[in-house]
Structure 1
């Protein structure tokens, strides 16, 4: 039997491989459902289906799109091979363990495409293979049969099992040949076939006390598997009354939370015999699953709970109870125990996919998360309703089966709420209802939808004039409600002009801080205000911008002295002359000092003050008007001319001032004024006339002396010229000189160059020495060599004489120039005096 079992296993493995090769895909059904069919007992990593091909994707796109496989239960039966795109088994699958006796064994999982936020249901049918041979719970069974048992009596055997289904399950039984028993095959509920031994001939203990039979169970698989059991039939002595159950079928319903040790049912059989033949003993023939949950008391017939019940594990248990008496007679009854469900499972929420952040400009209906909600209970206890709070801008949308999608319900605004904690509550319909909750953290990512905003649309800023160049005069700050680079604000100065120059030559704006700096020293008298605009631009893409207008008002400082307009100060330093009649009464307006100040405000408030007066108390000055009025009546003893010094001071801090000098003449008219001034100027004119006479006499004397000097000098020159002519006639030295050289100016020049004189002038002294030397001993002039056009320089003592003559000539020329200048100065001096 061991060798046949090994050969059967090898044949089964061959069939599994063959089934993998001929695997068929049922295709994609409606609503994204994909169905596959695979045989059981496939090794871990075996091919299930080509998910990539069925989804219309390339294998390399699986990892890029975030494709994953999620099983609905707690155990992951399938996995995804990202490289090949195949759906493979995550562990070895046994249909009998997964689905038991169910006709169809279906495992469900979901394929989630994270990139597209889509989900596809996958249904895999586990096809049964003949991997289980019929198996008897005990290889040897003992059957006690009374010799009085009537022919036709039946002895069922339900201790044989075959977990396979269909043709792979039990199909036939075979009994070894004998003359007392035959074999009948019965079909129980669910299609299970079990054998019954039928007594064909009465037993005779005296002839044969025991019978050994071989029962063989065979399935319909390929290859065929079988199991055998040895039945030892013991023939008992006569017992004419068998135990009888009170009812052939016991039905019991028990709640799944019944405590361990609780008696859920009691079977009762009676035997009319007495003594040992009347003692009833109970035994059960139940499946392995029921034997792990229930226990039968052989004496009392009580069926007790052996371990905790779970409706989700099994809802129905069946067992057959047999009552034996001491004589070998028995009766059988069937017990069916159904488990009623309780709401003992809390709904379970699992997040299968979640976006890390959602942009604030996402349209309504954007999928944020995928959830699966499961409740292991049944009926109303397993009906789950999911809810989220009403105040969040999201909603739950149910998709396939128990899957929900968390989607946006309305527009988001990160500047109002940047993070949401969405609590998803799953509540079943049990009594009392059970619920569970999970929190999904949704982060709203920023989009550049807010432009920088200034606190004011227009600013007015005051700055004092004469500010330092480059000093900060204003700081423009704009706030941006966005985040990160979208909120990084830079500042710019809008283009413009001021007094014909670009605005950028007057002001500058620091891009990062928005500080406005003045590039020039401002002058209130030139510029009273500067209007410009500051632009703020964020770092988003595309950038948003805004602007604010700024009016820079220049504050005046006391940096200008008062300027006196009247009387205007003449250039020659003289003062203005104002007339005051002798008949002027006190308060008579003589004149008015008019002054202005280029500053403004109190810096331009002027006050007048009489700083100095030649006759104090005669004139009064208006402090604020600048009017000069007579303080009293003029008398005969008052001077004709009065000198007044008027000061003008502003009200700045510190104050600045200016002054002007006025001359007030006391006269009724201008002719009278001139007559009075002429009478006063006669003595001075006489003194000036005498001085002029003295100067004219001095000039005449100097001129006569100069003429005498020229005459003497000319006579000396003529005398020497004659001596030179006599010497020349003697030696013929002057024979070649034309007579025209001695006529007129040319003659004088020739005469002067013929003789020499020594002139000795000492620098820095007023003395001059003149020495006239004798003529040259040779008495001749050196002639130039042949071929040269220049005259040779005098030789010896004659050269010194020529140099002296030239010096004397230069002195005479300078004297001639200085004499007229000296005469002109004398006349000017006399005129000035």
Structure 2
């Protein structure tokens, strides 16, 4: 396992040598590792904590995790050691069939900073596959008057490994009539051919048994064999000839099974049975053999399986036409699979906050979304948008990631929750789309003071009231939620001289009901002015107050009193004397 820190593929940034091995704090950082295939589960791939600039214990603290999607999770994080480890069997041939450089991509998410790092793991080939032939035995018919130097194509060997571990050479068992010649073509493949070195005589020997051996360059060398049976027949001196050396066709991926795609045609100038031609695939891989069928008599190629542009964009095969004498001709067939818009975009919510404070600043992150479309071209180009007039926006992040953030300040008292619909639509014709629904609650902050229902209050109480009698009640409403909306009531103390307000009136702090603490006497005072305070339980608390006028209503609780003449205090009867000369009307 060889960890490598390579350059960062970031547009507009060029940095050579000096910063090699330093992880850039940007959104396009990549970490490279190399591992051999067939590692045991739990094997160490690289020190991901070190390459992220973290200590091992910080991986769990900072929410570092793998967010890549796939059919099989091949890697995992060892939070104790800080290492990236293998989570299952890694088979290069299964993952990267036919690819010279096998690279596996995954993304590492730092949850606390919502930052994505790309990790590339190159899987190094080992020699775990021997060359093999699709056909263990091959029968070749050769005319007995065939001229020396005539060539016959032999089966092509397959080796799933690459490089020096792949197919390197062919060998032929010792015999007196044939030699082996290996042709190396422009595509890099080696094609063995049987060369006739000595004239044949069917009467002396009708069948020649040969063994073709294919060897790779691994250590140790692995080999595969095929048995060749050369049947000597009489008098057929013309080989078939294809009308074209190469056939090309493009078909949409949604063609139905059984569709005839093309016709290959070879003619033989011989007559009768010697001119009859049998068609077959000479070179076809396992995947193409499961999708296409060649009619041996007609030369038509049709589908026997479903095409999928996302799995394979093209197929290359070689067909041969063989006559009764064993003479053959070859032609190449290239089938291109055209993409149709048959995959809707996929949206995965990688990180999500279910609630947000109503005073959160603009740009606060709510969710991180990963958007992917398996189609190609315009069919795979995806645009994302939010349905409805909501105070949120989508911002393009690293790669195919989008950040759902607030676009303005929120107000819980106006809208306590949101149902956000994110739509991902491709540019195909017709377009396909996917909707993702996100529920978000707006958490309350104490941003509203209690408010009384009236601007001021007036109350009337009849004098000589019993002590403790309720006078009236006041109510204040707080639009906040929870403790921020819990209101308590109190009386403001009067700064004027004399007995305090609290000696006359009390208030229930929970209900706002005011009670008389004494019996009032209208002849002593007629009104009382006080302030009621309503305060919530938020942090910090908010409050408001209201004025209350209490009027004492008179009762007929006093009899008339004669002030003059006064009643004598010595117990005698009072006498008023009037002069004898008093006239009517005298006072």
Q: Scaled by the length of structure 2, what TM-score is found?
A: 0.90
1:579/1:77 CA distance change after superposition, 3 Å: farther
Q: Output the CA distance in 1 between the equivalents of 2:150 and 2:465.
A: 128
Match of residue 141 from structure 2: 144
Among 368, 371, 379, the alignment partner of 1:370 is: 368
Distance 1:259 1:524, change over 3 A: same
Aligned to 1:63: 60
* Aligned counterpart, 1:216: 213
3-state SS in 1 of match to 2:80: coil
**Structure 2 CA distance for aligned equivalents of residues 111 and 100 of structure 1:** 26
Q: Distance in 2 between matches of 1:341 and 1:492?
A: 75
Q: Distance in 1 between matches of 2:521 and 2:359?
A: 52
Match of 1:254 among 233, 241, 251: 251
Partner in structure 1 of residue 543 of structure 2 = 545
Q: Conserved in 1, the CA contact under 8 Å of 2:157 and 2:167?
A: no
Q: Which residue of 1 aligns with 2:458?
A: 460
Partner of 1:640: none
Distance 1:186 1:557 in 2: 129
Listed as ranges, the matches of 1:725-744 within 5 Å are none
Q: CA deviation at 1:498?
A: 6.2
Instruction: Name the SS of the counterpart of 1:171 in structure 2.
Output: strand
Structure 1 residues 578, 222: closer, same or farther in 2, change over 3 A? Answer: farther
5 Å-filtered alignment, 1:184-333, equals 184-188=181-185, 190-285=187-282, 286-333=284-331
What does residue range 42-53 of structure 1 map to in structure 2 within 5 Å?
Answer: 42-53=39-50
- Counterparts of 2:318 and 2:229, CA distance in 1: 21
CA displacement, residues 275-334 of structure 1 (integer Å, 9 cap, x when unaligned): 221111111131111101111111111111111111111111122111111222221111
The 1:496/1:250 distance shift into structure 2, 3 A limit, reads: same
Distance 1:567 1:362, change over 3 A: same
Q: For the Cα contact (< 8 Å) 2:394–2:404, is it kept in 1?
A: yes
Indicate yes or no: 2:484 matched with 1:486: yes
1:578 positional shift: 8.5
**C-alpha distance in 1 between matches for 2:75 and 2:233:** 58
CA deviation map 1:333-355 (0-9, x unaligned): 11111110000001111111111
Correspondence 1:518 to 2:516 = yes
Residues 72 and 110, structure 1, Cα contact 8 Å, conserved in 2:
no
Q: Identify unmatched segments of 5+ residues in structure 1.
A: 1-19, 592-833
Q: Which 10-residue stretch deviates more, 377-386 or 32-41?
A: 32-41
Alpha-carbon distance in 2 for matches of 1:236, 1:516: 124
The answer on 1:176 being equivalent to 2:182 is no
Counterpart position of 1:34: 31
SS of 2:113 mapped into structure 1: coil
Asked if the contact 2:156–2:192 (Cα under 8 Å) also holds between the matched residues in 1, the reply is no
Q: What aligned pairs does 1:239-638 form with structure 2 within 5 A after superposition?
A: 239-285=236-282, 286-497=284-495, 500-569=498-567, 571=569, 574=573, 577=576, 588=585
**1:623-675: per-residue Cα shift (whole Å, max 9, x none)?**
xxxxxxxxxxxxxxxxxxxxxxxxxxxxxxxxxxxxxxxxxxxxxxxxxxxxx
For each residue in 1:592-619, what CA deviation from the matched residue of structure 2 results, as whole angstroms up to 9, or x when unmatched? xxxxxxxxxxxxxxxxxxxxxxxxxxxx
Q: Quick check: 1:120 aligned with 2:117?
A: yes
For 1:556 and 1:363, the matched residues in 2 are separated by 60
- The structure-2 alpha-carbon separation of the partners of 1:196 and 1:377, relative to structure 1 and needing over 3 Å to count, comes to same
Aligned residue pairs, count:
568
Offset, 1:261? 0.8
Decide which moves more: 444-453 or 334-343: 444-453
Structure 1 pair 479–270 and aligned structure 2 pair: CA distance change class (3 A) = same
2:52 pairs with 1:77: no
What residue in structure 1 maps to residue 10 of structure 2? none
Shift, 1:143, TM fit: 2.0
Higher RCO structure (Cα 8 Å, ≥6 apart): 2
Give the root-mean-square deviation of aligned CA atoms. 2.5
Structure 1 window deviating more from structure 2 (515-524 vs 380-389): it is 515-524
Partner Cα separation in structure 1 for residue 187 and residue 516 of structure 2: 99
Cα pair distance change 1:327/1:468, threshold 3 Å: same
Q: 1:147 to 1:577 in 2, by over 3 A?
A: farther
Range with greater deviation from structure 2 (165-174 or 255-264)? 165-174
* SS of equivalent to 2:191: strand
Match of 2:102 among 61, 82, 105: 105
Which protein is richer in strand relative to its size? 2
The separation in 2 between residues aligned to 1:415 and 1:184, in whole angstroms, is: 86
The alpha-carbon distance between structure 1 residues 584 and 46, as it changes in their structure 2 partners (threshold 3 A), is: farther
Match of 2:88 in 1: 91
Paired with 1:580 and 1:273, the residues of 2 have a C-alpha distance of 183
Secondary structure in 1 matching 2:67: strand
Contact 2:3 2:32 in 1 (8 A): no
C-alpha separation between the residues in 1 aligned to 2:148 and 2:525? 137
For 1:581 and 1:346, the matched residues in 2 are separated by 130
Q: Which moved more, 1:44-53 or 1:260-269?
A: 44-53
Kept in 2, the 8 Å contact 1:71–1:77? The answer is no
Report how far residue 23 of structure 1 moved. Answer: 4.9
Q: Unaligned stretches of 5+ in structure 2?
A: 7-20
Q: Deviations over 1:790-820 (max 9, x none)?
A: xxxxxxxxxxxxxxxxxxxxxxxxxxxxxxx
CA distance in 2, matches of 1:580, 1:438: 116
| Contact 1:134–1:227 under 8 Å retained in 2 | yes
Secondary structure of the residue aligned to 1:550 is strand
SS state at 1:501 partner: coil
**For 1:700-779, what aligned pairs fall within 5 Å after superposition?**
none
Flag the 1:525–1:280 CA change in 2: closer, same or farther, 3 A: same
Q: Are the aligned partners of 2:4 and 2:32 in contact in 1 as well (CA < 8 Å)?
A: no
**For residues 301 and 482 of structure 1, do their structure 2 counterparts lie closer, same or farther at Cα, with a shift above 3 Å needed?**
same
Tell me, what secondary structure is at the counterpart of 1:436? strand
| Cα distance in 2 between the residues matched to 1:366 and 1:503 | 50
> CA 1:548–1:191 in structure 2 vs 1: closer, same or farther (change >3 Å)?
farther
Q: Taking structure 1 as reference, are residues 207 and 536 closer, same or farther at Cα in structure 2, changes over 3 Å only?
A: same
Distance in 2 (CA, whole Å) between partners of 1:360 and 1:299 is 76
1:497 and 1:503 in contact (8 A); partners too: no
Structure 2 Cα separation of the partners of residues 579 and 236 of structure 1? 183
Q: Which moved more, 1:465-474 or 1:307-316?
A: 465-474
Tell me if structure 1 keeps the 8 A contact 2:135–2:155. no
Q: Distance in 2 between matches of 1:488 and 1:197?
A: 96
Larger Rg: 1
Give the conservation status (yes or no) of the 8 Å contact 1:276–1:327.
no
Q: Contact 2:62–2:112 (CA<8 Å) still a contact in 1?
A: yes
C-alpha separation between the residues in 1 aligned to 2:394 and 2:580? 110
SS where residue 97 of structure 1 aligns? helix
